[in-house]
Amino acid sequence: MGYLKIDHVDKSFRRGSATTEVLKDISLVIDKGEFVSIIGHSGCGKSTLLNIIAGLTPASTGGILLEGKEVNAPGPDRAVVFQNHSLLPWLTVYDNVALAVNKVFGAKKSKAERHDWIMHNLDLVQMGHAKDRRPAEISGGMKQRVGIARGLAMEPKILLLDEPFGALDALTRAHLQDSVMQIHAALGNTMIMITHDVDEAVLLSDRIVMMTNGPSARIGEVLDVRLARPRKRLDLVSDRTYIAAREAVLKFLYERHRFVEAA
Amino acid sequence: MGQAVLKEETAEAKIVALPGQPAVLALPAVQGKPLSQRLMPWLRAALVNLVPPLITVALILLVWQLAASGPQSSLPPPTKIWDEAKDLIVEPFYWAGSQDIGLGWRILVSLQRVAIGFSLAAVVGVLLGALIGQSVWAMRGLDPVFQVLRTVPPLAWLPLSLAAFRDSQPSAIFVIFITAIWPVIINTAVGIRNIPQDYRNVAKVLRLNQVEFFYKIMVPSAAPYIFTGLRIGVGLSWLAIVAAEMLTGGVGIGFFIWDAWNSSRLSDIIVALVYIGVVGFVLDRLVAGIGSVVTRGTAQG
C-alpha cells in the first residue's frame, strides 16, 4: 500500500492561452521511514512536485494519498523545510519554533510541555544556545537548522525538504547533512528531499528519484541506494556501492538527460 | 585632596571587617573612568549635532532682525516679538480665563483632536489597507475610489462634515481622520502585497486562520510600510488641524492664529508658528521612533 502515494500526478500551468505542461504522469510510492531524494536539472519541476505533495500547489490531475487518505491542502502533517529557511525575521529563534508548536499542539500539550518540546527540537539541531537570537543575527547554516527544527517540531508524518542546503557553503552543508542523517536515524522520519547535488542524494537517500528534463518532466529512473546505515562520509569515498550509485546518477543526469539549455 | 579621599575609604573598610577576624583592609573597588571622561563622547556628540543648527537659527534671526527693522517694515523683527509676546514664549501653560490661556494649552487641545482623528485613521486605515492588499477584488473595487478621494484637499471635507455632524469638534476630528487615512491605507496595502510568498507558505503549512495570519504574519511583515504610512499621516493631520481650527473656532492653536490675525497681533502669530513647527517635528519623530522600535528585526532579512 505504501505510506505516501503520489498517484498519476500531472501539472500544467496556464498563462493566457499558452499551457505549459510541467509534470507528466508522476507516480511514486514511499514507505514509512524512507528517505527519498528527488534529483534533476533546474526547471525540471522537482520543486513543483514537492509543492504538490505539500499541498501548496494543486495538481492538475491525479492526487496525493497519505496513509490512504487524499491530501490536497497544506498542513502540518507534511512540514516543509524551505530552501531559503523562511524564518520570520521579527521572531526569535525560539518564537519561530514556538509559532509552529503552539499552533499544532496548542490544545494537546500544556505550556510547560510545549516549552520542553520547543527546546528539545532546538537541541536536536544544536540550536538551543541561540534561542533568543533573531534570524538576522545567525548564520545561514544556523537559520536552516532552525528551519529544520521548526519542521520537526510539527511532528509531521512526512518532512519535505526543498533544496535545504542549496544556499550553504560546502562545509556547512556537510555538517547539516550529518545532522539530518542523525535525526533520520534517531527519529525514523519519512523524508523527501529535493536536491541537485549528486553526492548529497547518494549519501542521504534510501532511494533516488531521477527526473527527466522539462517540460513534461517524468520520473526517469529510481535508484535504490543499498548502503548500510549509519553512513560515514569518509568511509564512503572508496565504497564500491557508493561509487556505483554516484556513477549511475551522474550518467543519468549528464549522459542521457543532459540539460540542453545549459550553455 | 587625595589624602582626604584615602581617609574616607579606610574608614569604610573598617566597617566591612567582621569582628573576631583579622581586619583586612578592603581595597576600594576600582571605579571605571571618572564621570567627566565618560561624559566626554556624549558631550561631543551633542555639540556636533547641536551647534550647527544653533548657528543657523542665530543667522536667520540676525538677517530677519536686519530686514524687518526698517520703519516701513510690515512684519515685526525678533526683538519686537520678544517684547510683545514674551508671556507666550516663556509661559506656555498660564491660565487666565477661558480665552486667555497659554499656547501650551491650545496645543494640547489641538493635539487631542489629532490624537482621536489620527488613531481612528490608523485603525481603519490598517484594516482597509489589509483588505485591499489581501484581496484582488477589494483592490479592484476600492482602489480607484481611494485614488480619487485622496486627492481631495482636507479642508474641502470641512463643510460637508459640518453639515453632517452639526458641531465643530467632531467635524475637525473627521477632517483629521479623512486626511490621515489615505497614506495609511495605501502604504499598508503595498506592505501586504509585498509579504514574501515564503511567509504565506509557512502560514499555509501551519494552517493559520485569518485572524492568526493577520496578527502573526501580516501586521509584523508589513509593519515598516504601515509605519511609513502612519508617519506621513501624522504629518498631514498636523497640517490639517491648524487649517480646520481656523474655520471651526474653539480653543486650538489654529483658531489662536486666526484670532491673532483678526486683532493684528502679528508677533503672537509668529510665536504660534514656531510652536506648531516644533510640535509637528516632535510628532514625526515620535511615530518614527515607535516605528523603529516595533519593526526592529523586520526590516532585515
Domain parsing of chain B, residue ranges: 104-294
List residues bridging with A223 in a β-sheet: A208
Distance CA B220, CA B291 (A): 11
Q: What local confidence, expressed as pLDDT, does residue B243 receive?
A: 87
Q: Which of A47, A57, A81, A86 to mutate to test the interface with B (most CBs of B within 10 A)?
A: A86
**Is A79 within 8 Å of chain B by CB?**
yes
Percent of chain B surpassing pLDDT 70: 87
- Count of CB contacts below 8 A, A vs B? 61
Q: What local confidence, expressed as pLDDT, does residue A142 receive?
A: 92
A29 vs B91, residue with greater confidence:
A29
Chain A positions touching B208 (Cβ under 8 A) are: 103
Strand order across the beta sheet in which A4-15 lies: A18-30, A4-15, A61-66, A69-70
Percent of chain B surpassing pLDDT 90: 47
Tell me what the mean pLDDT of segment B23-29 comes to.
Answer: 56
CB atoms B297 and A54 under 8 Å: no
Q: What local confidence, expressed as pLDDT, does residue B30 receive?
A: 56
Of 3.90.79.10, 3.90.230.10, 3.30.710.10, 1.10.3720.10, the CATH number of B104-294 is: 1.10.3720.10
Q: What local confidence, expressed as pLDDT, does residue B7 receive?
A: 45
One-letter amino acid at B4 equals: A
CB atoms B201 and A56 under 8 Å: yes
Burial zone of A93 (CB within 10 Å; 0-12 exposed, 13-18 middle, 19+ buried): buried
Within 175-234 of B, beta carbons closer than 8 Å to A belong to: 196, 198-199, 201-202, 204-208, 212, 216-217, 220-221, 223
CB-nearest partner of B300 from A56, A99, A136: A136
Q: What is the pLDDT of residues B179-235, one digit of tens each?
A: 999 999 999 999 999 999 999 999 999 999 989 999 899 989 999 999 999 999 999
Cis bond upstream, residue A230 (ω within 30):
yes
Q: What local confidence, expressed as pLDDT, does residue B295 receive?
A: 81
Which residue shows C-alpha cell 465643530? B168
**Is A140 within 8 Å of chain B by CB?**
no
Tell me the shortest Cα–Cα distance from B116 to chain A, in angstroms: 29
A82 → chain B, closest CA residue: B198
Distance CA B255, CA B272 (A): 11
**Taking 60 as the threshold, does the pLDDT of residue B18 lie above it?**
no
Q: What phi and psi values does residue A6 have, to the nearest 5 degrees?
A: -95, 115
pLDDT-derived band at B24 (thresholds 50, 70, 90) equals low
Q: What local confidence, expressed as pLDDT, does residue B298 receive?
A: 62
Tell me which residue of B182, B120, B180, B118 sits closest to B147, measured CA to CA. B182
**Taking 90 as the threshold, does the pLDDT of residue B6 lie above it?**
no
Chain B positions touching A79 (Cβ under 8 A) are: 205
Distance CA A68, CA B113 (A): 62
Q: What local confidence, expressed as pLDDT, does residue A254 receive?
A: 87
Strand order across the beta sheet in which A78-81 lies: A78-81, A158-162, A190-195, A35-39, A207-211, A219-224
Q: What local confidence, expressed as pLDDT, does residue A147 receive?
A: 93
**Taking 90 as the threshold, does the pLDDT of residue B101 lie above it?**
no
- Strand A18-30, strand A158-162: pairing: unpaired
Chain A positions touching B199 (Cβ under 8 A) are: 86, 88
Distance CA B207, CA A99 (A): 11
Distance CA B28, CA B26 (A): 6
Tell me what the mean pLDDT of segment B274-290 comes to.
Answer: 93
Q: What local confidence, expressed as pLDDT, does residue A213 receive?
A: 85
Q: What local confidence, expressed as pLDDT, does residue B164 receive?
A: 93
**Taking 50 as the threshold, does the pLDDT of residue B300 lie above it?**
no
User: CA distances (Å), A14 to each of A20, A43, A165, B201, in order?
Assistant: 6, 16, 31, 21
Q: What local confidence, expressed as pLDDT, does residue A215 receive?
A: 81
pLDDT-derived band at B2 (thresholds 50, 70, 90) equals very low
**Taking 70 as the threshold, does the pLDDT of residue B16 lie above it?**
no
B293 → chain A, closest CA residue: A90
Distance CA A217, CA A41 (A): 10
CB atoms B207 and A55 under 8 Å: no
Q: What local confidence, expressed as pLDDT, does residue B29 receive?
A: 59
Our measurement of the distance from residue B47's CA atom to the centroid of its chain's CA atoms, rounded to an integer in Å, reads 24
Q: Give the DSSP letter string of B189-252.
A: HHHHHTS-HHHHHHHHHTT--HHHHIIIIIHHHHHHHHHHHHHHHHHHHHHHHHHHHHHH-SSS
Distance CA A63, CA A70 (A): 7
Q: Count Cα neighbours of B236 within 13 Å in the Cβ-side half-sphere.
A: 27
Q: List the single range of A145-154, B9-18, B67-76 with lowest mean pLDDT.
A: B9-18
Q: List the grid coordinates of A218.
A: 517524468
Distance CA A80, CA A73 (A): 13
CB atoms A86 and B199 under 8 Å: yes
**Is A103 within 8 Å of chain B by CB?**
yes
Q: Count Cα neighbours of B77 within 13 Å in the Cβ-side half-sphere.
A: 14
CB atoms A104 and B217 under 8 Å: no
Q: Which of B194, B206, B292 to mutate to test the interface with A (most CBs of A within 10 A)?
A: B206
Tell me the shortest Cα–Cα distance from A104 to chain B, in angstroms: 7
A153 → chain B, closest CA residue: B206
**Taking 60 as the threshold, does the pLDDT of residue B9 lie above it?**
no
Distance CA A188, CA A198 (A): 23
pTM, rounded to two decimals: 0.77
Q: Where are the beta strands (DSSP E) in chain B?
A: none
CB atoms A89 and B208 under 8 Å: no
Tell me which residue of A80, A72, A53, A40 sits closest to A197, measured CA to CA. A40
Q: Which residues of chain A have pLDDT under 50?
A: 262-263
B90 vs A197, residue with greater confidence:
A197
Element (H, E) at B15: helix B2-16
Distance CA A123, CA A43 (A): 36
Q: What local confidence, expressed as pLDDT, does residue A261 receive?
A: 59
Q: What local confidence, expressed as pLDDT, does residue A229 receive?
A: 84
Q: Which of A80, A88, A105, A148 to mutate to test the interface with B (most CBs of B within 10 A)?
A: A88
Burial zone of B125 (CB within 10 Å; 0-12 exposed, 13-18 middle, 19+ buried): buried
CB atoms A90 and B217 under 8 Å: no
Chain B positions touching A154 (Cβ under 8 A) are: 205-206
- Strand A35-39, strand A190-195: pairing: parallel
